[in-house]
Every structure is written in structure tokens, then in C-alpha cells.
Amino acid sequence: MSKILVTGGAGYIGTHTLVALAEAGFESVVIDDFSNSKPEALRRVSALAGREIPVMRADLRDAEALRRTFSEHTFDAVIHFAGLKAVGESVRIPLRYYDNNLVSTVRLLEAMEEHGCRRLVFSSSATVYGDPASLPLREEAPLSATSPYGRTKLMIEEMLRDLARASALKNDPPEGAWRIDALRYFNPVGAHESGQIGEDPNGVPNNLFPYLSQVAVGRLPELTVYGSDYPTPDGTGVRDYLHVMDLAEGHVAAVRHLLDESLPAPFAEAINLGTGSGISVVQAIRAFESASGKSIPVRVSERRPGDVAACYADPSKAARMLGWTARRNLAAMCEDTWRWQSRNPSGYA
Ligand code: NAD
Ligand code: UD1
């Protein structure tokens, strides 16, 4: 059975991916410092997976802790979720983002080199496309970043391409060469179908779906719609919302891709994970109202600084290279978000 190290495995996308990995027959080990998550999330994952998942509580910047983890286990691949992700906070406290996201990645890559594990799935983001010049977004589109958070993703992608180049220069043997999939997620939403695990943001959420569900459950009074004058069909922002279990299955597909020894080594591929369809804020509100049976009070305000009008993926590279396409629709995203939120009104607390 292949064994996967999952950094940041206690977080929103990590927990769902651990369940998908277990279902696909992979063994996982988690390293997380719980700076943005709770141990309860992993207890529920173990219950869903039907087996205990070993957890190392440590900061990835701690080289000694990484060395211990890599000496206790032999990993076939690593999925690297750990990082800070609040765009607004990254603008206010950029050094915190550069320190956490970049330094932890360098330490992790060093440990992987040292222990001869050179198969990596990295959490990138559609934020690396900046303000899209044309849609849908293909992986070759120009890259730019509008926040320190986005710049950490761009810089890490560059680092990963450098590793694959170095492997090629050194003529590393196939088993020792870097093989990397940097997955550019569009907008992950929803929760596991069981309602046991889901997104549990600290404080007032920034993102649309957690905000919508907290209004529906009565924790927040109304939703603010940021702008109704965009050049989109109904004037509100358009995004490519993607069910988190589809995203989780995308990671399983990427791990299989990295472990496929018939592929020419080495490589560092950037791959979009999205559905390919754009949904407006108004469409999302309507779908959420019908899934929850609650009406959502709404107030329209100014555009949120830094937001783009529309952003959606061309997901054909993921279909071609990973054999993956999103299967779950907007209704399922809303129903599953609502099941999680209504059964766990205070999240994991
Ligand atoms: P999350 O905050 O829920 O999970 C991240 C996990 O990493 C948390 O459990 C946190 O405690 C842990 N962590 C952070 N810094 C760490 C460190 N130095 N050492 C050890 N653990 C650390 O976030 P998520 O939504 O699950 O996102 C996972 C990854 O996907 C992140 O890298 C994020 O930037 C990226 N991403 C997320 C989205 C999204 O909308 N959620 C979109 C695009 C990309
Ligand atoms: C945000 C991040 C982006 C990250 C992405 C992944 C910002 C500026 N960008 O993108 O870097 O990769 O999440 O999930 O934070 N909206 C409202 N009211 C709200 C919240 C959102 O109208 O209370 C609107 C937004 O204007 C946007 C849409 O809903 O049109 C989606 O917003 P959000 O969920 O925050 O995601 P993004 O802005 O796409």
C-alpha cells in the first residue's frame, strides 16, 4: 500500500482529501501545527476512513520534526497543503506569509531530497492568473499576483519548476527524479456528503459560501453582495465553484499520475482543477436558498477591492493528464455545505 505524507491535513481541503485517499486504498500520515484547524477534524476523518491516521503535531519550518517524520516512515509521495491563505491578511502582514509559506516549503523540499522522496502534489491557486485577460483560463495564460499570498504561490511554483529542471540537468534516474503536480484550484466549496467534516473558518468568513451558510444558520444577519455593476450577465462576480470532494479526488488522481512509472521523468506540471463553468453571486444565493429552504437577506454594496469580474477554468488538461473531471453540480455543493453547517452550527467547536 502506498504511503502519502499530507502536510496541513487537518485543514479544509486536507481533511476531505484524507477521506478520498483512504477510499482509494492509500495510507496517509499527517503533519499539521493546528494553527488554522482543530484535532477534532482529524478524529472525524479517522472515523470516516475506518482507520486511525497518524498525526505529527509540528510546524513544517521545524527541520528536526520533518527529519523525525521522514525517518519513521517511508513515503511514496507528499501532498503539500500547509500554508496561510487569507488574502487580506497577507496584504497587512506580508512577512508572516513569506515566512510561513515559503520557508515551510523549502524545509519540506529539503527533507524530501534528503530522504529520496521526490513526488509532490502542491496546492496552488487560480490566484496566480491575477486579473484574467481572457476566459476560460488555460494553464499557459500569463501569470501575475495581486497580493503577497498570491506571490507566495507564484514563487513556490517557480521553485518547483527549478527542481524539475535541476533533475533533468543531473540526469537523475527515473525513480530519483522530481515529479511534481502543482494543482491550481478555482473556488473549492461544499463538504463531505456525511455532514461530518466541512469548512470551519476562524472568525467572520471572507469567502462567499461559508458566509452564505452562516447567514442561513442564523450566525450572521445578512450577506453583502460586493458589486452588481460587473460586466457579467447579472452584474455580480462570476467564479468557478468546485465541490471539495471533486477536488479531493483530483488529488488522488494526481498522486496516481506521479506514481505512474511509465511516464518520462522528471516534470513539474501546473494543472487547473475547476468545473469550467462560471456561476454568479446571485445564482449561488438562489441555489443556496433552495438547498437550505432558508431565505438569505442580502445587501448590495461597492465592489470589494482586488476582486475580478469573472474567473473560470479550462479544465481540459486535468482530464487529459489526470483522467479527472468534476462530477458534482452546484445543487450538491449547496446541499452538502448546508448539511455540514446545519448539523455543526459552531463548526468543530
Ligand atoms: P486550511 O487553512 O484549512 O488548511 C491549511 C492547514 O495547514 C491548516 O490545518 C493549518 O493548521 C496548517 N498549517 C499552516 N501553516 C502550517 C505550518 N507552518 N506547519 C504545519 N501546518 C501548517 O486551508 P485549505 O483551505 O485547506 O487550503 C489548503 C491549501 O490550498 C493552502 O495552501 C491554500 O493556500 C490552498 N488553496 C486553498 C483555496 C481555498 O479556497 N480553500 C484555494 C486555492 C488554494
Ligand atoms: C478568494 C481569494 C482568492 C482565493 C479564492 C479561493 C480574495 C480577494 N480572493 O477568491 O485568492 O484563491 O478565494 O477560494 O479573497 N462575495 C460577495 N460577498 C461576500 C463574499 C464574496 O459578494 O461576502 C463575492 C465576491 O465578490 C466574488 C465571489 O463572491 O465575486 C466569490 O468570492 P470568494 O468566495 O471570496 O472567492 P474569490 O474572491 O474568488
Find out whether the beta carbon of 306 lies less than 6 Å from any atom of ligand 2.
yes
Question: What is the spatial distance between Cα 132 and Cα 163, in angstroms, rounded to a whole number?
Answer: 28
How far out from the chain centre does Cα 59 lie? 19
Write the CB contacts of 191 (distance below 8 Å, at least 6 apart in sequence): 16, 197, 198, 199, 244, 336, 337, 339, 340, 341
Asked if 257 and 307 count as a contact pair (C-beta separation under 8 A), the reply is no
- The CATH number of 208-239+276-343 is 3.90.25.10
What is the secondary structure of 253-304 as a DSSP string? HHHHHHH-TTSPSPEEEEEEES-S--EEHHHHHHHHHHHHS----EEEEPPP
Domain ranges of the chain: 3-189+241-273, 208-239+276-343
Q: Which of 186, 208, 228, 230 to mutate to test the pocket of ligand 2 (most atoms within 8 A of CB)?
A: 208
Residue with the nearest Cα to atom 27 of ligand 2?
Answer: 237
Question: What is the spatial distance between Cα 269 and Cα 180, in angstroms, rounded to a whole number?
Answer: 6
Take residue 17 and report the three cell numbers written for it.
482529501
- The CATH number of 3-189+241-273 is 3.40.50.720
- pLDDT at residue number 175: 81
Q: What is the pLDDT of residues 265-318, one digit of tens each?
A: 899 999 999 999 999 999 999 999 999 999 999 999 999 998 999 999 999 999
Q: Which of 5, 6, 7, 12 to mutate to test the pocket of ligand 1 (most atoms within 8 A of CB)?
A: 12
Q: What is the pLDDT of residues 138-185, one digit of tens each?
A: 999 999 999 999 999 999 999 999 999 999 999 888 788 999 999 999
How does residue 50 score in pLDDT terms, banded at 50, 70 and 90?
Answer: very high
